[in-house]
Every structure is written in structure tokens, then in C-alpha cells.
């Protein structure tokens, strides 16, 4: 009976303790300082006496007037004489952004509410020694900028004494690309008669939208040795947390001007450069590489436009994939785009490479400027004629045969003394292998010549049959009429295509791309055609005379007809004067 009574009493006491622990009796809210300076942090502590859910505190109501830092939760339980007490504490850091009076609202925890707290935020007091032990300053080079223009943002952390540890966050701005420039700079300076260690950090801010924006200052969080500590020995010293926030900066980002009709590229300097890694010697049929590099200061690589590639039809083009990169130098972002292109000339002569122009907006002068590679005239040499039957090209000799010409001679008996025989006699001694190779070489050359003549006659007959039987859907007269109509449009690309079509019908035996200077009858078309390319791609804005072009092709057609009546057409000189 006594055991039953004791057990019942113990159960009632435990049950009463659990019920008491499950109820929140009181909730209090306190802050560590009031008033507070605008660059300082406020530590808000919410204490609930009783059992409370760790997620019962919601700090979203504070976001209206403060920047809310990380919240820590601590729970403690104590039992004294069967009396159980439990306490849950939430500690969060608040950063005021402006001067003035702000209210920390009441919070409800498990049905209990805290009292609201009014906080007064005052300007920074330069004479306050405690507040000036640690502070953060911010600066920006431009208060007003254009869309995608780089801004230089500088943060300085001032430390009057050493810190145990600390971290400095990056600034924040909506719709912006923010990148740190280089490493931190550390130096000392004296401000208001006090020596500070300064840690300077620079950022590049590239706005991605126009309008008015506020750059939120970075937050510094560190730990310093607590003052007046009685613990003078041991490995663990008491520290206290220090929080500072940098001032906000408001900027105005202007949109793209309305008169801009090209890819937007705001910068202080843009330039174009070219390289010819294999030299600048042009030969028909031989590739040569041209590398064009676009460099812009104060932008990222995603803003760089494509490099235009306009070339006359005298080249075959084999572009390579362009590469882009962004580097940091002298507190600025430098973006580069590199485009590589292989050019293969298809005909000899003097050819104009058109200029390459990229417009950009100068943020200093606020005017449109142009990065330009000027037009240039290159001289393309004809391909070197191949020598038929040349052993070095058709069948190169082994290196061993070159080093030892007599290595294939039949082996002499040991009793035969070659050392005492003159070298001229040894070299002039014929062998059956030499005669065999000579006969085979002659037969190969004869077979190659017969095959070449057959293929050429077949090609000529097939080309003639195409013209005579009308397999080409367009006649020469129709192509000439279409060319004249295309000239009136003054579209250089269409004119070049129509000109090629007409020349191929005039000269069906010609191979590849035909140049007007290639034949005597059509040499008069070359100069008006060059004027067309210069007017389209040249640096100076010149007017092109389409009537002169029409007159030139009409004169050339008359000469071709007269030449066809007199006999076969004649080729132009190998090295024309133009």
C-alpha cells in the first residue's frame, strides 16, 4: 500500500512538471543599446520562459526597417526540487539603414506577446571613442552612369585594435553584376589623431537595368578581446562580437540613348587589332590565318558584340570558334573577344580587304565612336606550277637512300677491294636496279599523260554538251539581263553572285571563282567592281556609279561576242597592270 501511494505521488509530481514545462509563462524582448549610431548593429534578444517551439520566432516583420542578420536559438532546462524550468532564447542582429526613430514590433510566442521597442538611430559621433574603434566607409566613382557601364566601388574597414577574427561581406545591389577587383590592400593611416589599420577592398559594379538603385553597404562581423577580463592566463580568452555596416549609396542608372542603333557597348576605350601568325604573304590555294581581337575596358565579355566578317568573293573562308575572356587590371574589367579565320585566295592579283568597324559609346564624351581596322590591299601571287614527274613530290626517297646513295648497290665479294677503286668508277657502274626503276618511271609518266588527256577531253566535252543541250536552266542572255537588274538594286552581295553567274556562262571552261581581270575581254569590269567593294566596305563613304558598271559589262559582252566570232578567247596577262 505504501509503495502504491509513493508511486502515485511521484507520477503526479512528474505530470505536473511536464504540464508546467509545456506552458510559456512570459516572453520578453530586449536590445543591447539605445540609441544606436547608423553604422552600428543592434542585438535583439527574445526570451521565452517555458517550453516553446524553436521555430516560433519569425523575424520577417523586421525587414521593413532593418537588415536582419543570422538568428541563433538557445534552449536551457533546469530541475530543482522537482521544479522544472525551461528557457528558450532567440538572439538576432539588426542593422539600421537610416537615421530616425524605428519601432521593433511585438512578437507572439506560444500565445504570449512581447512589448514593442522604439529605437532611435543617430548619426555617427566622431567623438565617441567606443563607436570609432571599428567602422566601415564606402565610396563610388560615379553617382550617375549608363546601363552596363562599370562603376568602381571602394570599401575601407578601419580597425583601431587587433581583432581575433572577422569577415566582410560584399555590397548588394539588385540587377547588377558585382565582382571583386584584385586582392585586399592593407595599410595604416591616422584619422582624427588616432592610428587605424585599414583594409581596402574594391569592387566592379556593372548595372544590368536602368533606374534609381541603392547599393547596400557591406557588413563587417568580427570578434575582439573583451575589455576588463579577469582571465589573464589560459588558452581561451573571452571575446565579444563587433558588427559594423557600411553606408548605403544611391546611384542613377540612365538607359540606352534613343539614337543608338547598334549593339550597346559603353566603355572608355575600345580597339581592334589584327595579327597574321603565318605572315602576310598571299598565294593562290594556300591558307593564311588572320586573327582579329576586340578589346573593351569597363565591360564584361558577355557584352562584346560579334566581329563582322566581310570579305570579297576571291577568298574561301574557314572561320574558327571565337574565344572571349574578362580580366582585371588597374581597378578595371577588361574584356576581349578573339576571332580566328583561315583565308584561301582563289585567284591572283591585287585584292581589297574591306575595313572592319565596330561602333561603341564613349562614356566620357557621351558620343558614338568607332573602333576600326582600315581597309588594305593585298597582293596574291599565282600558285607555283607543279613539275610533272618530279621524284621529290611524287615519290620522296627514303632518308637512308639520301644519306647513302650507294646503299642499294649489290653486295661485293669480300675479296673485291673497293677502297682502291676510284669513286668515279663506282658511281658510274650501271646496275639492273637502276635500269628497272628508269623503265618503270617512264611507263608511269606515259600513263599519267594519257590519263590526263582523256580526263581533259571528257571534261571539255561534258561542259560543251551542257551548254549545247541546254541543261543549264539559264542562258547567257538571261544571266546578263538579270545582272543588269541586280545592279540597279546596288546590293553588293547580290551583284557579286549575279556577276559570277554571268561570267561562268561566258567562259564555261573556267574553273572556280572567275575574276573580271582574268580575261582580256572583261578586264574593263574589274575597276568598277573594285569601286563597288570600296563603296560598300571602305572607310570613306564614297558614291558608287552603277551606270559605269552597266556600261562596262555591256562593252565586255560586245568584246566577247567579237572574240567568239574571230576565234577562241584569250587569257589576260599573268601579271595585270591593275
Mean pLDDT of all residues belonging to the chain = 78
Mean local confidence (pLDDT), 130-151: 88
| 553, 484 contact by CB (below 8 A) | yes
pLDDT at position 19: 46
Confidence of residue 437 (pLDDT cuts 50, 70, 90): low
Poorest-pLDDT segment among 57-61, 223-227, 256-260, 544-548: 223-227
pLDDT at 452: 55
Radius of gyration of the chain (CA): 44
Higher pLDDT, 540 or 29: 29
Q: Which residues of 150-171 are buried (b: 16+ CB within 10 A; e: fewer)?
A: bbbbbbbbbbeeebeebebeeb
Q: What is the pLDDT of residue 186?
A: 93
Residue 175 sits at the vertex; the CA angle it makes with 174 and 180, to the nearest 5 degrees, is 80
Q: What does the alpha-carbon distance between residue 236 and residue 267 come to, in Å, rounded to a whole number?
A: 53
Q: Is the pLDDT of residue 398 over 50?
A: no
Domains and CATH numbers, the chain: 16-122 (2.60.40), 131-228+236-254 (2.60.40), 267-381 (2.60.40), 476-566 (no CATH)
Tell me if the pTM is above 0.85. no
Mean pLDDT throughout 107-136?
77
Q: Which of 33-37, 75-79, 245-249, 451-455 has the highest mean pLDDT?
A: 245-249
| pLDDT tens per residue across span 38-96 | 878 888 998 888 878 878 888 888 888 888 877 888 888 777 776 778 888 889 888 88
What would the 3-class secondary structure string for 105-129 be? CCCEECCEECCCEEEEEECCCCCCC
The percent of residues above 90 in pLDDT, for the chain, comes to: 28
> How far apart, in Å, do the first and last CA atoms of the chain sit?
130
pLDDT-based confidence at residue 112 (cuts at 50, 70, 90) = confident
pLDDT score for 6: 52
pLDDT tens per residue, range 318-352:
888 889 999 998 889 999 999 999 989 998 999 89
Amino acid at each position: 500500500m505504501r509503495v502504491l501511494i509513493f508511486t502515485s505521488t511521484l507520477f503526479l509530481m512528474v505530470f505536473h512538471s511536464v504540464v508546467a514545462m509545456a506552458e510559456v509563462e512570459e516572453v520578453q524582448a530586449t536590445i543591447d543599446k539605445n540609441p544606436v549610431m547608423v553604422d552600428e548593429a543592434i542585438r535583439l534578444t527574445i526570451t521565452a520562459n517555458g517550453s516553446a517551439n524553436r521555430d516560433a520566432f519569425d523575424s520577417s516583420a523586421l525587414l521593413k526597417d532593418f537588415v536582419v542578420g543570422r538568428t541563433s536559438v538557445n534552449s536551457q532546462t533546469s530541475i530543482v526540487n522537482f521544479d522544472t524550468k525551461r528557457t528558450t532564447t532567440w538572439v538576432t542582429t539588426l542593422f539600421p539603414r537610416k537615421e530616425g526613430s524605428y519601432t521593433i514590433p511585438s512578437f507572439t510566442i506560444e500565445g504570449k506577446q512581447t512589448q514593442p521597442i522604439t529605437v532611435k538611430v543617430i548619426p555617427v559621433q566622431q567623438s565617441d571613442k567606443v563607436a570609432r574603434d571599428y567602422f566601415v566607409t564606402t565610396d563610388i566613382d560615379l553617382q550617375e552612369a549608363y546601363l552596363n557601364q562599370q562603376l568602381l566601388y571602394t570599401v575601407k574597414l578601419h580597425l583601431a585594435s587587433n581583432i581575433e577574427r572577422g569577415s566582410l561581406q560584399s555590397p548588394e545591389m539588385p540587377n547588377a553584376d558585382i565582382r571583386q577587383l584584385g586582392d585586399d590592400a592593407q595599410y595604416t593611416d591616422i584619422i582624427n589623431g588616432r592610428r587605424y589599420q585599414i583594409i581596402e577592398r574594391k569592387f566592379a559594379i556593372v548595372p544590368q537595368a536602368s533606374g534609381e538603385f541603392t547599393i547596400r553597404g557591406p557588413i563587417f562581423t568580427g570578434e575582439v578581446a573583451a575589455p576588463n577580463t579577469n582571465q589573464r592566463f589560459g588558452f581561451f580568452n573571452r571575446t565579444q562580437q563587433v558588427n559594423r555596416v557600411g553606408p548605403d549609396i544611391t546611384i542613377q542608372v540612365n538607359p540606352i540613348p534613343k539614337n543608338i542603333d547598334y549593339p550597346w557597348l559603353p566603355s572608355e576605350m575600345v580597339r581592334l587589332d589584327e595579327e597574321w601568325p603565318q605572315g602576310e604573304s598571299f598565294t593562290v590555294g594556300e591558307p593564311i590565318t588572320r586573327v582579329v581581337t576586340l578589346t573593351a575596358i569597363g565591360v564584361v565579355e558577355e557584352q562584346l558584340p560579334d566581329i563582322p566578317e566581310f570579305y570579297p568573293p576571291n577568298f574561301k573562308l574557314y572561320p574558327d570558334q571565337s574565344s572571349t575572356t574578362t580580366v582585371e587590371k588597374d581597378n578595371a574589367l577588361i574584356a576581349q573577344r578573339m576571332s580566328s579565320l583561315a583565308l584561301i585566295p582563289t585567284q591572283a592579283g591585287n585584292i581589297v580587304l574591306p575595313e572592319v568597324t565596330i561602333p561603341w559609346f564613349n562614356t566620357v564624351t557621351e558620343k558614338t565612336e568607332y573602333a576600326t581596322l582600315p581597309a588594305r590591299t593585298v597582293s596574291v601571287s599565282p600558285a607555283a606550277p607543279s613539275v610533272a614527274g618530279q621524284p621529290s613530290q611524287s615519290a620522296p626517297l627514303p632518308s637512308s637512300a639520301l644519306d647513302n646513295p650507294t646503299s642499294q648497290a649489290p653486295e661485293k665479294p669480300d675479296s673485291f677491294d673497293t677502297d682502291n677503286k676510284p669513286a668515279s668508277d663506282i658511281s658510274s657502274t650501271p646496275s639492273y636496279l637502276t635500269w628497272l626503276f628508269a623503265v618503270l618511271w617512264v611507263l608511269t609518266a606515259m600513263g599519267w599523260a594519257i590519263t590526263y588527256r582523256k580526263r581533259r577531253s571528257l571534261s571539255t566535252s561534258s561542259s560543251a554538251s551542257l551548254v549545247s543541250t541546254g541543261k543549264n536552266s539559264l542562258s547567257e542572255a538571261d544571266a546578263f539581263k538579270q545582272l543588269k537588274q541586280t545592279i540597279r538594286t546596288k546590293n553588293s552581295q547580290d551583284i557579286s553572285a549575279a556577276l559570277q553567274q554571268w561570267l561562268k556562262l561566258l567562259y564555261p571552261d573556267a574553273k572556280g571563282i572567275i575574276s573580271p581581270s582574268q580575261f582580256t575581254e572583261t578586264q574593263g569590269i574589274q575597276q568598277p567592281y573594285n569601286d563597288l567593294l570600296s563603296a560598300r566596305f571602305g572607310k570613306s563613304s564614297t558614291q558608287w556609279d552603277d551606270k559605269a558598271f552597266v556600261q562596262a559589262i555591256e562593252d565586255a559582252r560586245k568584246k566577247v561576242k567579237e572574240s567568239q566570232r574571230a576565234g577562241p578567247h584569250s587569257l589576260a596577262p599573268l601579271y595585270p597592270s591593275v
